[in-house]
């Protein structure tokens, strides 16, 4: 999942950088073009329906692309494929206990086979805990009484 999350993140950074440069450039351009020396009297400008539709439609389209892209990543991440290896996980104060379906148990370290899909069934015994693997870009909060 890390590659997909990174691609979305870099897209968001690129869109933000593009619009930052565009808006700053337009501010500078309009401040020079419409300065007081060139236009001593204010002129009334009437709106353009086409222009307003464009500057409303383009951000709407970009936001919808971001929404669909992130929804696809979310649903892919939260629904493991059939045949995934199941690992039971219990969060306790200051530790994580993992149990594989074969009976192998681990505390505070999780070992999984490379290239195999894993489904973690997680809960907490005491308070809210966060399970985060930075290299995978995956974070999950576990709550007492919920799996």
Task: Write out the two tokens for 25.
Answer: 């450039």
- The pLDDT of residue 89: 95
Residue 135 CA to residue 35 CA, distance in Å, equals: 52
Please write the tens of the pLDDT for every residue from 37-49.
877 787 787 888 9
Residue 23 CA to residue 16 CA, distance in Å, equals: 11
- The pLDDT of residue 50: 92
Share of the chain above pLDDT 90, in %: 61
Q: Alpha helices of 34-101 — where are they, by DSSP H?
A: 49-78
- The pLDDT of residue 136: 83
- The pLDDT of residue 78: 86
- The pLDDT of residue 130: 92
Is the pLDDT at 15 greater than 80? The verdict is yes
Please write the tens of the pLDDT for every residue from 78-135.
888 898 999 999 999 889 999 998 899 999 999 988 888 889 999 999 999 999 888 8
Residues 6+ apart with CB under 8 A from 48: none
- Longest Cα pair distance anywhere in the chain, in angstroms? 83
């Amino acid at each position: 999942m890390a590659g997909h999350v990174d691609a979305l993140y870099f897209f968001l950074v690129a869109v933000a950088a593009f619009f930052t440069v565009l808006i700053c450039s337009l501010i500078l351009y309009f401040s020079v073009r419409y300065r007081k020396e060139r236009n001593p009297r204010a002129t009334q400008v009437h709106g353009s329906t086409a222009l307003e539709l464009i500057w409303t439609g383009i951000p709407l389209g970009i936001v919808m692309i971001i929404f669909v892209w992130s929804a696809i990543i979310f649903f892919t991440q939260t629904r493991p494929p059939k045949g995934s290896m199941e690992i039971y996980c219990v969060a306790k104060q200051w530790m994580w206990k993992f149990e594989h379906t074969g009976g192998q148990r681990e505390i505070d370290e999780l070992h999984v086979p490379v290239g195999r899909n894993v489904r973690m069934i997680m809960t907490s015994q005491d308070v809210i805990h966060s399970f985060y693997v930075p290299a995978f870009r995956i974070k999950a909060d576990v709550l007492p009484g919920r799996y």
